Structure 1
């Protein structure tokens, strides 16, 4: 059982356990020892970060821990999470590290790890690293301490890789695009890449100050970008999150399209071109029933996984699939990237607009979603409301009420102390009643 790691690395409030400088140093030493080869040679790790103020602290602490075990550290500075996966592979590193809490508010931070293949670590690897953190590791002898060096062109290397995923002759001339960078890791890369491809770019969220990442902007709060699209007469909007590994699209009318609609668009297009590997899309248990029915209508399958883009990627790799993602906007195209890449996905949406000549509103509404309701209930450390008899009874009653017409999903968030209560049903009255019954029982138990 992992205690330190959640669904996407280690995450929490900065300077509050476990997200302290001391813990970051210990984690750095443990993961450095775990990945350092015994056969000699150069041992290398790349570290990227988003724009949070605490990123400086964790960057230094991780560097100290890693160099203490003999790892040479290459510091990429602020770059999107997918850039770390890319650079880990291209620089032949033993390990990649991203310092980010993704879509969380600025006071939070996190640490994500990539193996030498550029993919996120498995549960087993994280459990073994946790054991090393608890046990402690023997530092390298003085002559073998690692070095640290800044890499100045990481953003440009990433940009070239993103553009190379598109046809060489594709240009975005004539497209007016609002891009909301969430004051995060892509605040420079995203506008630059769109401009280089010929788009008329209207950037937002490009003035990070260490405390404003995801504040009133980005993929979790897209309304400001939606208003900008309408006000500027833009053709489309792209909303990234703090580390730019997820995307939410906005059509020319200001309507928001989530990851399910995006995946439906790509799956249908790729299947028509006979390049959807395995005839299936991989998504999580949170994806809408409407997506599943859309795929079935085209003779395709939906493979569901636990929540978390790395579980999506694990299933894609195991089954030989090349398209997957999450309703929240992680879009994984494994032909081009090892993890979700919001900017790359956004560019592929624009490419489809150019290819088809259709407006964003036509492309972003591939199916009618089944009504879905999600409620979050916050809990404190040590509380276990899902073990309460009243909560279990409420869940059973709601499941029985939705049987045959919908579904109920109850889970703990892997990134925040929240109980997530989600249901889908064609009858909205039954939907609301089912969710409120469970939420009420959880709140009473707390």
Structure 2
């Protein structure tokens, strides 16, 4: 049977996959599992709920609130705020858990439900499995005074804004930043935060109507931001996704600064200021080889994880490290956040520009990006790809050909009959040729 929870909560087409009935049931199940400690302490559990501005979030969040309150949980409804704000508020309000209704960078018809444990931390797989199992258990059915209350979390935004500003050690006066809020959850917060910090702000993607979230704007569509930065003569651009847990950037010339470059900039800065625990950065196997070389040049170790910010978080927590993230722009600064926070990341990038007096392009030059070619080989047996001797020999030969000037990664998809072949090399044509050759071998040896 297919697991209900994916790599980041439950997600799908709202009204078909993510229904009001499912939201109600998940909330009731979560009340049983995540509210257990509070009940054992003879007190009523408290939960923070929030959503991004997509229209389906209205009925899904209402169903979640109903499921929680009917299960004896007091609900603090924070309304439309970023995912990292919801995580922060769970800890700040000393709630027992939190619920975020969002499909992140997905298009408007999709939606999702993710849970945070006490302290604003993402749930491990085993706890998600307990919630899924609890869907078939008897529901909690309190009555009278034991029924939960639903209240507006009136100062939710203010608490989060104060928290963000408190992470800065200097003002951002004199820096002109263009913000792309993806018509999402950042729209009501990010521009105010940057202005309060002293930056001059121009905003695009800042008119959410429930249907236009991530539509040709935001971190998955950087073209408009690049144009806006150049047209306004800004120092940089910052792009969020729909729930503002990502940050990608544009330098003053319109060039993309991806998550790898952002991590390099922040890691070097934090290491120089003795803020990088064990001088170690956590990233995934998909990060560019140039990141690893840049970190080695600055005496910074790299811990690699599987693809997905939850695995980065697990490694950060296990090693008590300070910084980690993904090429996609999920950057986790663990001294200030329990999850990726696009607004926080953007603030820290601008702060480093102020501290050093350098442009974003100059800061990003610490990393040389290696050409990276990814080929998806479809219609193949994923498990056979990792155990085939001929494929292993082909990978070894490619690695020998590259030497220290590149790398090879074969990664089976976790959800479909696809094997991803990734090759990095100093020259684009070399990476492309080796990737195509390896893809041919994988296709021939594992075709279904």
The separation in 2 between residues aligned to 1:34 and 1:108, in whole angstroms, is 26
Gaps of 5+ in 1: none
Q: CA 1:417–1:245 in structure 2 vs 1: closer, same or farther (change >3 Å)?
A: farther
Alignment of 1:25 with 2:24, yes or no, is: yes
Secondary structure at the aligned position of 1:156 is classed as: helix
The separation in 1 between residues aligned to 2:139 and 2:426, in whole angstroms, is 58
Alignment of 1:234 with 2:234, yes or no, is: yes
CA contact (8 A) 1:386 1:442 kept: no
CA contact (8 A) 2:181 2:218 kept: yes
The separation in 2 between residues aligned to 1:185 and 1:413, in whole angstroms, is 29
The separation in 2 between residues aligned to 1:158 and 1:419, in whole angstroms, is 41
1:64 — aligned with what?
66
In the TM superposition, 1:141-160 aligns within 5 A as 141-143=142-144, 144-160=146-162
The separation in 2 between residues aligned to 1:204 and 1:229, in whole angstroms, is 10
RMSD of Structure 2 on Structure 1 (CA): 2.5
CA contact (8 A) 2:381 2:417 kept: no
Q: CA 1:192–1:217 in structure 2 vs 1: closer, same or farther (change >3 Å)?
A: same
* 1:315-370 Cα deviation digits (max 9, x unpaired): 11111211111111111111111111111111111111111111111112321122
2:263 — aligned with what?
263
2:5 — aligned with what?
5
Q: CA 1:128–1:340 in structure 2 vs 1: closer, same or farther (change >3 Å)?
A: same
Alignment of 1:369 with 2:365, yes or no, is: no
The separation in 2 between residues aligned to 1:267 and 1:174, in whole angstroms, is 24
Alignment of 1:282 with 2:282, yes or no, is: yes
2:408 — aligned with what?
407
Deviation at 1:223, TM superposition (A): 1.2
Deviation at 1:2, TM superposition (A): 7.2
The separation in 1 between residues aligned to 2:439 and 2:9, in whole angstroms, is 28
1:215 — aligned with what?
215
Q: CA 1:244–1:417 in structure 2 vs 1: closer, same or farther (change >3 Å)?
A: farther
Gaps of 5+ in 2: none
The separation in 2 between residues aligned to 1:250 and 1:394, in whole angstroms, is 43
Deviation at 1:302, TM superposition (A): 0.4
2:79 — aligned with what?
77
The separation in 2 between residues aligned to 1:384 and 1:64, in whole angstroms, is 44
2:176 — aligned with what?
176
1:109 — aligned with what?
111
Q: CA 1:91–1:420 in structure 2 vs 1: closer, same or farther (change >3 Å)?
A: farther
The separation in 2 between residues aligned to 1:366 and 1:221, in whole angstroms, is 25
Q: TM-score scaled to structure 1, two decimals? A: 0.91
The separation in 2 between residues aligned to 1:401 and 1:25, in whole angstroms, is 54
The separation in 2 between residues aligned to 1:41 and 1:82, in whole angstroms, is 27
Alignment of 1:139 with 2:140, yes or no, is: yes
Secondary structure at the aligned position of 2:295 is classed as: helix
The separation in 2 between residues aligned to 1:240 and 1:91, in whole angstroms, is 25
The separation in 2 between residues aligned to 1:217 and 1:394, in whole angstroms, is 44
